[in-house]
Structure 1
Amino acid sequence: MSQNHYHVLGVPATATPVDIKLAYKRLAVQLHPDKHGGNPIYEERFKAVAVAYRVLNDPARRAAYDQQLRQAEQRLAEAQRQQEYRVQGQRVYGVPMPPPAPLRTRRPAGSAERHYRSIPKQRKFTRRDYILTFSLLAGLLFFVMIVKLTMDHVTAVSNYEDGLAAYGQRKWETANAYFTEALHFKPTYREALKRRAEIQHLINRNYREAGNDYAAALRETKEPAERATLLYRLAQCQVQLGQIASAEHNLTNALALDSTQSGAWLARGEVRLFEQRRFPGAIHDFTAGLRHRSIVGRPLPTKYLTYRGLAYFKLQDLTQARQDYRRVLEANPRNGQVHFLLGRVAQQEGNAPAACEFFRRAVLLGYIYADEARQQNCP
């Protein structure tokens, strides 16, 4: 085999650039033609050393040269392998003949002389195979679940938006159907639960279904003010269903979360007045609710002024009762019920003529319950 550049410089193929440079300097000094009187042999060797150094000193050229050397070695090895597998009788020029096959000195061994060893039966599925199969199935199941959840969410949102459009157009049945469809795909969809509950509560008067939806929406709500509103609406449904203790409990929790909810104050005052007959607590709740409505600039509802006056009357605080009743009359002078209640106040104070006058006005204004009181107490 002809020498390559590494052989010319006398360094191995793994030599470092420093080793290559030192070998070149040493050989350049030894083989310089001037030291040998212009001998052409040394001149050729000096040129070969210079060429080898130019190639090996450049990293890019050296890498390309190393690749050429490896390819040449691979071709040589492939040729040798092909030669080894040639037919025994084939003669290739320049290649020595293969050695002759060994002569047999005896007959092949019989079955009695042979030693047989059974090959252990391999299991079809190894532990690794089971792990890979299980991982593949788990990944596939997880992917299917993610796709289903995504599609359910998209469908639920689409139905909710359609229901919201119908809700804005006051198409209550259509809106309720869309919200129900949205909840079919996503049962915990809070906004759909709230909207459907409002339809059942305020439009259909189906307080049981509305209460169930409010309770489900509460489980998905974390924000305190929103929870307070849902508790207030749930309590309204419970009052209609006769669940007074639960309603009072939920109204108390709503006010603990948001004490500015005038509706919850007034609703709890109504429960305490008519259902629990806790008149001081009712007065406190009506006062707080009316105060919060006044702070935000909303008109005072005469109904709750009347209720507070009734609570004062039950406690025999006739002065405060009269003040609330008269505030109602200022807003609505033709309220026959309040004329009747003022007659009751006058009757408690022993002012029979004033009581009879109030009863008479109540009857004239259409409050028929005052007629019986007038007949019993007025001549």
Structure 2
Amino acid sequence: MSKNYYHILGVSSSATSAEIKRAYKRLALKWHPDKNPHDSHAEERFKQVNDAYQVLSDPRRRAAFDLQQQYEQQRRQAQAYATPRYHHTRNPAGFTERHYRQRPKQHTHFSRRDLQIILGGIILTILLIIGINLGWGKIASGRAMTLARQAEQQRLWQKAAEAYSTALEYKPKLEEARVRRGALRLGYLKNPAGAIEDYTVALQENASPPAAWYAARGKGYLQTKHYLKAILDLDKALSLDQNLAGAYLDRGLAHLQWEDNWSAAAADLSNYLQNLPDSSALATEALLYRTFAYFRMQDWKKAWQDTEQALRQDASNAKAFYLQAKIKLAQGDSASGCRLLSKAAKLGFALAVDEVKDQCARLGLKTLKSKKSLKSR
């Protein structure tokens, strides 16, 4: 029996030349040896596709192939009619030869014992699955916690957070993993929204959460600029533990940034400074925050004293010179203000650079004009 080239190309015997060509291109690309290296089956199929196209793309060869197919089909039909389907069979039995008997009825309902066995099997299966899951979850979560602690020791913060997340996938109520991930998100990964989510779940699931958790969530709200929520959380933290120095700083910053209560901000920053060494960089930064609170309260004396103390701790603090300049300008001393702005600008404080170009340039122009008018007189 010859090959059916139409079947090889996947087209009907009435396909047009264009259809045959499209089918050939598709199959040739599919079975090409370059696309199927070391594949003997693909190589054989490619040869068959090529042979089929060579025949069917030539009108004369295609006509000869069609005649051959038609002849083989007629020959098969003739053989089918000439060959009897069954051999050595007898005629069907008559009615008198057939015997019938009643089949006994089969009961298809379940007995109580059957139901008990099935129900017991289902319960045992469920208990087995639960036991396996609990055991595997405990093992997997424990391994993830070990990896997380090791990553934290190596200061691999992202890897540690991912390991804590894996532990929480197996044990969602694992408090340590959730709180530690929240601390990493807040302190190192710059993800305060994720930290808020973690601490919120921890606070909800713990009947008596520690003050530090409220303080941490308050810090997250501060970083996301939800100042009222930050203040409420920090109030709660300090009501539980008045020794949380960082909570005073964060609440003071929340008041400053929300601009709702300058005196409360100054009081919180004062409480924070009581717990810090005077020479620390954190103390210097807190002094300048308190300076801004005093400045907004127009308490020029206290604001100036804080900047002076900050400069004693850091003589090249550009922010301190800038705040001193703002104090002098607010008091009407433009010359001293511009001189201090110039110092801050030379130290690289961007706001001071812009204000020197704007305010002090105009002041210098006015001074020059006044000198010229005096000379003319």
What range describes the TM-score normalised by the shorter chain of this pair? 0.5 to 0.7
Task: Give, in whole Å, the separation in 2 of the partners of 1:157 and 1:254.
Answer: 31
In the TM superposition, residue 377 of structure 1 has moved relative to its aligned partner by: 4.0
User: Is the 8 Å Cα contact of residues 269 and 282 (structure 1) preserved in structure 2?
Assistant: yes
Q: 1:355 aligns with which of 333, 337, 341?
A: 337
Question: Is the aligned partner of 1:322 residue 2:309?
Answer: no
In the TM superposition, residue 162 of structure 1 has moved relative to its aligned partner by: 1.1
- Distance 1:174-1:369 versus aligned 2 partners, 3 A rule: closer
In the alignment, structure 1 segments of 5+ residues that lack a partner are 1-122
Question: Is the aligned partner of 1:125 residue 2:99?
Answer: no
In the TM superposition, residue 330 of structure 1 has moved relative to its aligned partner by: 0.9
Q: Look up the equivalent residue of 2:218 and give its one-letter code.
A: A
Instruction: Report the equivalent of 2:202.
Output: 217
Task: Give, in whole Å, the separation in 2 of the partners of 1:352 and 1:298.
Answer: 32
User: Is the 8 Å Cα contact of residues 222 and 250 (structure 2) preserved in structure 1?
Assistant: no
User: Is the 8 Å Cα contact of residues 157 and 189 (structure 2) preserved in structure 1?
Assistant: no
In the TM superposition, residue 253 of structure 1 has moved relative to its aligned partner by: 1.1
- Distance 1:218-1:293 versus aligned 2 partners, 3 A rule: farther
In the TM superposition, residue 157 of structure 1 has moved relative to its aligned partner by: 1.4
In the TM superposition, residue 320 of structure 1 has moved relative to its aligned partner by: 0.5
Question: Is the aligned partner of 1:374 residue 2:360?
Answer: yes
- Distance 1:174-1:346 versus aligned 2 partners, 3 A rule: closer
Task: Give, in whole Å, the separation in 2 of the partners of 1:376 and 1:336.
Answer: 22
State the identity as a percent.
25
Q: Look up the equivalent residue of 1:333 and give its one-letter code.
A: A
Question: Is the aligned partner of 1:208 residue 2:193?
Answer: yes
In the TM superposition, residue 347 of structure 1 has moved relative to its aligned partner by: 2.7
Instruction: Report the equivalent of 2:235.
Output: 252
Name the SS for the 1:259 alignment partner.
coil
Q: 2:288 aligns with which of 306, 311, 317?
A: 306
Name the SS for the 2:275 alignment partner.
helix
Task: Give, in whole Å, the separation in 1 of the partners of 2:268 and 2:120.
Answer: 62
In the alignment, structure 2 segments of 5+ residues that lack a partner are 1-109, 368-377
Q: 2:328 aligns with which of 346, 356, 368?
A: 346
Deviations 1:120-140 (CA, angstroms, capped at 9, x unpaired): xxx9439xx989997896677
Task: Give, in whole Å, the separation in 1 of the partners of 2:118 and 2:242.
Answer: 58
Name the SS for the 1:277 alignment partner.
coil
User: Is the 8 Å Cα contact of residues 188 and 216 (structure 1) preserved in structure 2?
Assistant: no
Question: Is the aligned partner of 1:160 residue 2:142?
Answer: no
Instruction: Report the equivalent of 1:49.
Output: none
Instruction: Report the equivalent of 1:145.
Output: 130
- Distance 1:282-1:343 versus aligned 2 partners, 3 A rule: same
Q: Look up the equivalent residue of 1:262 and give its one-letter code.
A: A
Task: Give, in whole Å, the separation in 1 of the partners of 2:302 and 2:141.
Answer: 54
Question: Is the aligned partner of 1:280 residue 2:263?
Answer: yes
Q: 2:165 aligns with which of 170, 176, 180?
A: 180
Q: 1:267 aligns with which of 250, 254, 257?
A: 250
Q: How many pairs were matched up?
A: 252
TM-score normalised to structure 1 length: 0.59
In the TM superposition, residue 222 of structure 1 has moved relative to its aligned partner by: 5.0
Name the SS for the 2:163 alignment partner.
helix
In the TM superposition, residue 359 of structure 1 has moved relative to its aligned partner by: 2.3
Name the SS for the 1:301 alignment partner.
helix
Instruction: Report the equivalent of 2:318.
Output: 336
In the TM superposition, residue 366 of structure 1 has moved relative to its aligned partner by: 2.4
Instruction: Report the equivalent of 2:95.
Output: none
Task: Give, in whole Å, the separation in 1 of the partners of 2:319 and 2:359.
Answer: 12
Task: Give, in whole Å, the separation in 2 of the partners of 1:189 and 1:204.
Answer: 21
Name the SS for the 2:298 alignment partner.
coil
Farther off after superposition, 271-280 or 357-366:
357-366
Task: Give, in whole Å, the separation in 2 of the partners of 1:243 and 1:322.
Answer: 31
Name the SS for the 2:142 alignment partner.
helix
1:86-125 aligned within 5 A: 124-125=111-112
Name the SS for the 2:185 alignment partner.
helix
In the TM superposition, residue 144 of structure 1 has moved relative to its aligned partner by: 5.1
Name the SS for the 1:333 alignment partner.
coil
- Distance 1:219-1:143 versus aligned 2 partners, 3 A rule: farther
Farther off after superposition, 153-162 or 299-308:
299-308
- Distance 1:267-1:183 versus aligned 2 partners, 3 A rule: same
- Distance 1:171-1:367 versus aligned 2 partners, 3 A rule: closer
Name the SS for the 1:219 alignment partner.
helix
